[in-house]
Chains A and B, each alone.
Chain A
Amino acid sequence: MSFDPSTFWEALFSWPFLRGALLTLGLTIAAHLTAILIALPLAVVLNGPPSVLRKLITAYVGFFRAVPTLLQLLFVWNALPQIFPIFREEWFTPFLAAWIALSLNESAYQVEINRSALSAVDGGQMAAGQAIGLKKSHIYRYIMLPQALRVALPPTMNEFITLLKLTSLASIISLQELMTVTQINVARTFQFSEYYAVALTWYLVMVYSLMGLQKLVERRFRWSSRTEAAALAETRRSRGW
């Protein structure tokens, strides 16, 4: 048995690994939020009547799904500075490159999730919002999105977990995320199991925390079940809001 617990525990809370885990998590959150922001208006357009814009969006989605994520990362990091001199400057870090590449890549998947979630909302909801004289932005903000979110949440969480693991690809552009730190330590010491166990632990902690968060968010959708809606209504009444 060549597992050295002290190496494991020391590495687990060491700064490089903590920093690596934080970078992994930060990059995932940043890229996913950006992807969702890009995807939302695209999904709204896709849900509307046929148009030239809709064709362009379909092409965009197809493109980013077809190209391997690794190629997108390498392209943004290596080729973009060759094409646009502005990317040759100091501020263009591996983190930024990975953020851009993963956001674009993820947005293609998130568009489809958002589109189908929006179309899952009953058509009468839009009509009802229009009929009481609300403008489009208010209808989406207060009527469509809260209901679509309920449908979109589980697949979005799946995407987040996939993305979390995809960030390890950024080690190829020398971003010091969790897997890069792990590889460096393994290469230095050949203590494979200890350092792999550290990486595994952090990935598990991140994914499980997130699943806990999902449970919390899902409590907001209790209105969709009769029994839970009754409990929610009672709670709200007793608190007076």
Chain B
Amino acid sequence: MISLRNVNKNYGTFHALKDVSLEIAQGEKVVICGPSGSGKSTLIRCVNHLEPHDSGEIRLDGLEVGAARDVLKVRRTAGMVFQNFNLFPHLTVLENCILAPKLTGAVSDREARKMAEDYLARVHILDQAWKYPIQLSGGQQQRVAIARALCMKPKVMLFDEPTSALDPEMVGEVLDVMGELASEGMTMICVTHEMGFARKVADRVVFMDAGRIVEIAPPETFFAAPQSDRARAFLSQISH
């Protein structure tokens, strides 16, 4: 479903991704963790071409990421959820969800609305559909952001630290929604340090450091017996 081969990415002279290779099968859930600045966001932003990569190959559902004619198709294949939600503040919850389906013209207004209401119900926030983002709590905003991404019927979901900006009491409601999505068979890449979530949902954990993938292992192996020193050091830091 997602395939990265020897991907490199530079920001100016800074080498942010170094020969990253990763294969993700359909329906698979991968959690990426690693110290701040290790390139986790950069990696998933390369997958939907929010950041262009410099060399190597990225493929998403058969599309070549980076090929000019496929950029919009790639982005519609992958839904993305950001750390800071990034809802459109001038649109209501419902309008946030139907904007893209309407503009991309795949469905009628009625269908777009119906679909948005379905997804809002699935993230348990349909009762807030008429509100503006500023009226919602962080956890509610993030669930709307998930519904908004789902409205494009993506085949893959990318999460970039979806719970890092949330107050602790709201983390659970967002992780629950993500867990439900996972159990429905969605292919997911999730950057997160929520170890409970990783244990429960992830098929594999990818550990990154300094722009490289250092270790890939099933969660039980990774958390119980990390192979690399850097992973051990990292795990001991976040478990405090």
**Do A and B associate with each other?**
yes
B100: Cβ under 8 A from any A Cβ:
yes
A133, A230, A236: the one contacting B72 at CB < 8 Å is: A133
- Residues facing A in B73-127 (CB within 8 A) are 73, 75-76, 78-80, 82, 84, 86-92, 99-100, 103-104
The answer to whether B86 and A130 have CB atoms under 8 Å apart is no
For the complex, give the distance between the alpha carbons of A113 and B186 in Å.
44
B78, B80, B89, B103: the one contacting A223 at CB < 8 Å is: B89
Q: B104 contacts which chain A residues (CB < 8 A)?
A: 133-134
For the complex, give the distance between the alpha carbons of A232 and B72 in Å.
34
How many of chain B's residues touch chain A, expressed as a range?
Answer: 20 to 34
Q: B75 contacts which chain A residues (CB < 8 A)?
A: 130-133
Tell me which of B48, B80, B89, B130 has the highest count of chain A C-beta atoms within 10 A of its own C-beta.
Answer: B89
CB distance from B112 to the nearest CB of A (A): 13
The answer to whether B131 and A233 have CB atoms under 8 Å apart is yes
B134: Cβ under 8 A from any A Cβ:
yes
For the complex, give the distance between the alpha carbons of A135 and B99 in Å.
12
Q: A131 contacts which chain B residues (CB < 8 A)?
A: 48, 50, 75, 78-80, 82, 149
For the complex, give the distance between the alpha carbons of A125 and B90 in Å.
11
For the complex, give the distance between the alpha carbons of A202 and B99 in Å.
44
The answer to whether B89 and A132 have CB atoms under 8 Å apart is no
- Residues facing B in A199-240 (CB within 8 A) are 221, 223-226, 229-230, 232-233, 236-237
For the complex, give the distance between the alpha carbons of A15 and B80 in Å.
62
Interface mask (B142-166 → A, CB under 8 Å = 1, otherwise 0) = 0000001101100000000000000
The answer to whether A223 and B132 have CB atoms under 8 Å apart is yes
A190: Cβ under 8 A from any B Cβ:
no
B135: Cβ under 8 A from any A Cβ:
yes
The answer to whether A125 and B72 have CB atoms under 8 Å apart is no
CB distance from B26 to the nearest CB of A (A): 20
Q: B134 contacts which chain A residues (CB < 8 A)?
A: 223-226, 229
A132, A142, A146, A237: the one contacting B149 at CB < 8 Å is: A132
How many residues of A are counted as interface, with CB atoms below 8 angstroms from the partner's CB atoms?
Answer: 28
For the complex, give the distance between the alpha carbons of A236 and B89 in Å.
16
Q: A124 contacts which chain B residues (CB < 8 A)?
A: 82, 84, 86
CB distance from A168 to the nearest CB of B (A): 37
- Residues facing B in A146-174 (CB within 8 A) are 146-147, 150
Q: A133 contacts which chain B residues (CB < 8 A)?
A: 72-73, 75-76, 100, 104, 152
For the complex, give the distance between the alpha carbons of A231 and B18 in Å.
51
Q: A134 contacts which chain B residues (CB < 8 A)?
A: 72, 99-100, 103-104
A127: Cβ under 8 A from any B Cβ:
yes
The answer to whether B86 and A135 have CB atoms under 8 Å apart is no
> Do A233 and B135 contact each other (CB < 8 Å), given the known contacts A124-B84, A142-B99?
yes
The answer to whether A237 and B130 have CB atoms under 8 Å apart is yes
For the complex, give the distance between the alpha carbons of A158 and B92 in Å.
30
Q: With contacts A124-B82, A132-B152 known, what are 10 further pairs, Cβ within 8 A?
A: A127-B82, A131-B50, A131-B80, A132-B148, A146-B90, A223-B134, A224-B134, A226-B134, A230-B132, A233-B132
Chain A interface residues toward B at CB < 8 A = 122, 124-125, 127-128, 130-135, 138, 142-143, 146-147, 150, 221, 223-226, 229-230, 232-233, 236-237
Chain B interface residues toward A at CB < 8 A = 48, 50, 72-73, 75-76, 78-80, 82, 84, 86-92, 99-100, 103-104, 130-132, 134-135, 148-149, 151-152
Q: Nearest 4 pairs between A and B by C-beta?
A: A133-B76, A128-B86, A124-B86, A131-B80
- Write 13 A-B pairs (CB below 8 A) sorted by A numbering: A125-B88, A127-B82, A127-B86, A131-B48, A132-B75, A132-B149, A133-B72, A133-B75, A142-B103, A223-B91, A224-B89, A225-B134, A232-B132
